[in-house]
Amino acid sequence: MKNLIRNIKGIYYDMGWYFSNLIKYHKVVKEMRPWDGHYVYMMTKFQLEQLLPVIENGHEEDESRLEKVKDIKRLIYLLNNSIKDNYSERCGFDHNYNITFEKISEDSKLYEMKSDETPEQEANNRRAIEEANQLEKDEIEEIGKLYAKVTWWWD
């Protein structure tokens, strides 16, 4: 009988967490898709945003606590960059030009892409994309290193 009561209390306790988490995580879970790591980053960022105030307001000594807070904030920032895929914009990509599609000839079903991008914009954008690719690679590497540190925040 004691085991039955203990099991019922455990189920009741778990159901409380279930409904609480269902409400808290609703938005991020609603947006989850199984085909891209982007969604894993969204969940990780959300979870770190939940964890951050707990660590910031914790009772741990400042020296180790502040280092963890700094790492978590940096990781949230990096995950957000990856989620938004904002690397080319941060490297100065210039979107201020138009792209149109024009038929190759009147009787053709084929179209040609035309752009009014200036040679200066083209050179700038080529440079921005190269820098953005390197920035993304560097930041994803840093995400891995920071994630390895912050997943063991309770040590």
Q: Where are the domains of the chain?
A: 31-150
pLDDT in 10s for each residue of the chain, 155 residues: 778 788 888 888 888 888 888 888 888 888 888 888 889 999 999 999 999 999 898 887 888 889 999 999 999 999 999 999 999 999 999 999 999 999 998 888 999 999 999 999 999 999 999 999 999 999 999 999 999 888 765 65
Specify the pLDDT at position 152.
66
Specify the pLDDT at position 70.
95
Specify the pLDDT at position 139.
98
Torsion of CA 52, 57, 62, 66, to 10 degrees: 20
CB-CB contact of 97 with 118 (8 Å) = yes
User: If we measure between CA atoms, which residue out of 45, 43, 37, 124 comes closest to residue 89?
Assistant: 124
Specify the pLDDT at position 153.
59
User: If we measure between CA atoms, which residue out of 43, 56, 77 comes closest to residue 153?
Assistant: 56
Identify each DSSP E strand in the chain by its residue range: 99-103, 111-115
What contacts 103, CB < 8 A, 6 or more positions away?
110, 111, 112
What is the chain's alpha carbon radius of gyration, rounded to the nearest angstrom? 24
